[in-house]
Amino acid sequence: MSASMPTGAKSPSLHTEALPPECARCGARHLAVCGALEQHEFPELAAITRHRAIKSGEVIFEEGDRVRHVFNVSAGVLKLYKLLPNGRRQITAFLYPGDFLGLAAKTSHAYGAEAITDSHLCQFESTAFRELMARYPALKDNLLAKANDELRYAQDQMLLLGRKTPTARLASFLLRLAASNVRYDQPANVVTLPMTREDIADYLGLTIETVSRTFTKLKTDGLIELPSRTRIEIKDKVALAEIAEDY
């Protein structure tokens, strides 16, 4: 998301037979940075792309690591996090297919990144990618739009952590995930949670116990159903939205 969940660019018409096999199979191509390129421009990006399979729990980079690469998420879910002085962890974002990773950093990463699920990344050497971005304004504009979306979500997250009640935080989180389903042609009333309750707590600035109690309260009140720990069905979106505005 890129709880930030930036809106992806629309895809130009790319003939799959002209693409590398990994790209032709990619379900997130229309949401990714390559969606901004014309067909004749695509091979230059493909030439600097390394495809990486990442296992659940694998760290892509740690906070403070030198920036060598930038990444596009083509499959799976990642989390970004910072370690606080008191030893706690604050998750700052969840990244989904189509989201971009690492461009904001200049010399060292300001956060860590870890795979929540088995994932696939398109990896680009950072200098080569910036050079390509300078040659293709559409690529730069695409990433600028993603950055603007990330900034908006970051501002929403600051408000959520600073002012909202625990129930409003969780309601806002579920509604944001549900709204993002439009990107992936998924039902707007069903939310999949690949992250753990601990991850959700670290993202919302709550304890695991509070997150669990709040899920139970929303279910008891008839606003959601919990078929499993990883699937939420929103039963009353209007009431959930009213709760999300509670400060």
Residue 6 DSSP symbol: P
20 in a domain, yes or no?
yes
User: What percentage of the chain carries pLDDT values higher than 70?
Assistant: 91
The string of pLDDT tens digits covering residues 18-61 is: 666 777 777 777 788 888 888 788 788 888 999 999 999 999 99
Residue 173 is predicted with a pLDDT of 94
150 in a domain, yes or no?
no
Q: Which of 149, 138, 161, 155 is closest to 96 using CA atoms? A: 149
Q: 243: which 2 tokens?
A: 């709760």
Task: Indicate whether 193 and 108 sit together in one domain.
Answer: no
Alpha carbons 135 and 131: distance in angstroms, whole number: 7
Within 10 angstroms of residue 83's Cβ, the number of other Cβ atoms is 14
179 in a domain, yes or no?
yes
Q: What range does the domain containing 214 cover? A: 164-244
Alpha carbons 175 and 1: distance in angstroms, whole number: 11
Task: Indicate whether 171 and 137 sit together in one domain.
Answer: no
pTM for the full predicted model: 0.86
Q: Are 76 and 119 in contact (CB under 8 A)?
A: yes
